[in-house]
Chain A
Amino acid sequence: MDFSLNDDDLALRDAVQRFCEGEYPAPERGNAETPAQAAQRHAALAELGLLGLQIPAELGGSALGPQAAMLAAEQLGRALANGNWLSNAVLMAPLLAEAGSPAQRSAWLPALAAGRLQVALACAEPEARYDLADVRSRAKPTADGGWSLSGRKALVLGGDVADLLLVVARTDGERRDRSGLSLFAIDAASPGLTRRPITLLDGRRAAQLDLQGVSLAADRLVGPLDAALPLVERAVERANAALCAESAGALEALLAMTCEHLKTRRQFGAPLAKFQALQHRVADMATALEQLKSMACVAAMALEAEDASERTRLVSAAMTLTAQLGRQCGLTAIQLHGAMGMTDECRVGHYAKRLIANGLLFGDAAFHLAAFDAARRPTAADLDLTP
């Protein structure tokens, strides 16, 4: 395995780090942002080329791979940057590049890269938890060759401000069937679409959607009819790989903050850093950080694997640890900061919330552990444990 980074990688990492220091001043990290702030930061992301990382060069992007996304995500995570980069640049851009028709690609991708068009993926449904095949929304063909869409969508990351929503709907089959799902692009202003903005645990923004007979022209179908699930799964895998890197970045910042606190705060006549019980918790946080960094690399590399079950296996391995270690370290850091860590003013809680949220967004630890097990590569010595 090759984990080395080249000069271009390192230059990208430094550029994103400088960007974050400018846009996200340390004392404000994790604060709720105003719509004006969010729009200005999105424009700045576009300016730096971060929205087009995974968009083909002829459509205004820089055509970099998952490794670039990993490096950007890690730095954005350190700064607790918002979720619109993730929804646009990671979830949507490669999905549209992969599934869109030439007309769709040239209509949307250059605008996405330039920050003029925000897009969001509506793949989760109420009561479906993390099962992407658990879709009850339906798209029915209309007489004019178009579609009529009805259903409900839960937790569309960045869906509160998106101009275009990519909605997964059933064109065939029953709830939880793996086939019969298709993708439709809906304008945010479409009649019949109601969206309710929601704020997530960590301050990121999303929306819930209610669709009642939203009419769509035939050219709003994105990708193949009835066979969208693998595309959506792959998009969510990209998001999960980036979330692992984001968590590694957030944990890095949290560890630095915690060390600073332990060295400064004195109790019982000595700095907290002198107490062995506290040192051991720092050692475990530092070790968790190295594990998450490694898994972020593994997940990014896995995205390029041809075999879908190999991708799932390794991304889910990464997310199992992201969810477990992220939450554990976030809560440990609060403990190490004492009552101060419980206040909203202290940044520690904001980092803890982000780490917890990342482990609940596109699959929790149990979901990913099960997904890993279902996709695991058996070794020669294995025996079947199923009855």
Chain B
Amino acid sequence: MKLAFSAADEAFRQAVRSFVREQLPGDIRRKVELGLRLEQADYVTWFNRLEARGWLTPGWPPEHGGPGWTHLQRFIFDEECLLGGAPRIIASGIQMLGPVLIAFGTPEQKARYLPDIRASRTWWAQGFSEPGSGSDLASLRTTAVLEPDGRHFVVNGHKVWTSYAQWCSMMFALVRTDPNAAKPQEGISFLLIDMTSPGLTVRPIRMLEGGTDLNECFLDNVRVPVENLVGELNQGWTCGKYLLGHERTGIAGIGSCKQQLARARQLAGQQGLGEDALLRALLQARLAQFEIELIALEATALRLLAPGQRSRVPQVEASMLKVRGTELRQAIYETLLDIAGPDALPFSAEAQFLEFLDAADDAPVAPVPPELASVAANCLDARKLSIYGGSNEVQRNLIAQAVLAAH
């Protein structure tokens, strides 16, 4: 065992750090550091620079344009990007669909879709959740019926919580193709749907922090060519499970935790919380506790990758990291809210845009310091962390079932 990273890993860290410092445009970094909203162009700008360096798709195998990194290198890369103020890689195409197409897609599907994902020409929407099925995906009801000539599916249903659907031209969806299957997850297929198809409408959902990045998608007799089926008919559950496994690997969000903890320390200093002894002690203890939890989270993430150290219970590591990582981040966001105190109260959805803040700088009385303009929105938005990707309650069920089965 060794506490330090190897010299090669440290060199890699420095290379990523310099890259982020040199390539990330200043206004994007400012938005991320202030917790402000990003627009599609911000993501595309950053993704294109990563792609030019060959770093956009670290999870993809080298023959499809991945850099061939180790787990540890990916870990370092994610952390350095976040600490350097880069936007998260949010695109479903890169993290979810790409790995599925590489594993299950036909050569034609790979050739047609993968290059566009890497070039950020196509943004993909994830069409999994439905009003009646959140974490319980096996209960989904959107149907796809093959037309008699066998050339098109006709899709009818209602998808919800579709992130960034407003920017997406394509959707990958789980749909029910055999309503009479013996088990609910056996009659599901994985389908690629052109979002400009007639019958498909997108309605933005306004969220409690003021954003509209989540959407509802209504599918009314949408025709989808049969060549858009990924994997075997009725075997979509396999693709979906594979995809969610991929999604969970980075879900501990250690880089985000570090980023927000640094933000909390910085704001605490600026807010004059050091003057009252009890307040200072309480805050200092909370921040120190977070830092310790973070050390434990990071060590656990790294240890569970090490030979001879695996948990007695396989497959639950990702769930544990998800639960701890997301709850820690939420606790840090709550502390940010406490640090802002009364300055967290003035709230407007517009104040979460950099242009608005810059304009307000010239006003005689600024409504709120720019560093605090989005603290409340960020805290509310962070509630999603324990809901998406399989809610933390579902994760705890999975952990407990595996642990109980192993003993």
Give chain A's interface residues, CB within 8 Å of chain B: 1-6, 9-10, 67, 255-256, 259-260, 262-263, 273, 276, 279-280, 282-284, 286-287, 290-291, 293-295, 297-298, 300-302, 304-305, 314, 317, 320-321, 369-370, 372-373, 376, 379-387
Contact = CB atoms under 8 A, between A and B. Distances in A.
A387 B265 CA distance: 14
Contacts of B305: 3
Contacts of B345: none
Interface in B253-272: 262-263, 265-266, 268-270
B74 interface: no
A377 B92 CA distance: 36
A259 B407 contact: yes
Contacts of B289: 320, 369
Given A3-B1, A382-B266, A297 B299 contact: yes
B400 A294 contact: no
Nearest to A279: B400
Interface in B299-357: 299-300, 302-309, 311, 313, 316-317, 320, 323-324
A302 B280 CA distance: 29
Given A3-B299, A295-B299, 5 more contacts: A1-B299, A9-B308, A283-B403, A297-B309, A385-B273
B400 A373 contact: no
B284 interface: yes
Contacts of B401: 279
B294 to A, nearest CB: 9
A309 B292 CA distance: 15
Contacts of B407: 255-256, 259-260, 263
Given A290-B300, A317-B295, A4 B1 contact: yes
Interface residues of B, number: 56
B1 A280 contact: no
Given A1-B299, A3-B303, A5-B1, A290 B288 contact: no
Contacts of A284: 396
19 contacts: A2-B1, A3-B299, A5-B1, A259-B406, A273-B400, A279-B401, A280-B393, A282-B403, A291-B300, A293-B309, A294-B296, A301-B2, A369-B285, A382-B269, A383-B266, A384-B269, A385-B265, A385-B283, A385-B284
Contacts of A4: 1, 306-309
B391 to A, nearest CB: 12
B399 interface: yes
Contacts of A283: 323, 395-397, 399-400, 403
Interface string B370-407: 00000000000000000000000101110111011011
Contacts of B400: 273, 279-280, 282-283, 286
A291 B324 CA distance: 10
Contacts of A302: 3
The 6 A-B pairs with the shortest beta carbon distances in the complex, nearest first, are A383-B269, A279-B400, A381-B262, A3-B306, A259-B407, A294-B299
A370 B2 CA distance: 26
A255 B403 CA distance: 9
A127 B308 CA distance: 44
A317 B292 contact: yes
B34 to A, nearest CB: 13
A287 B399 contact: yes
A373 B302 contact: no
B274 interface: yes
Contact of A297 (B284, B303, B323, B324): B303
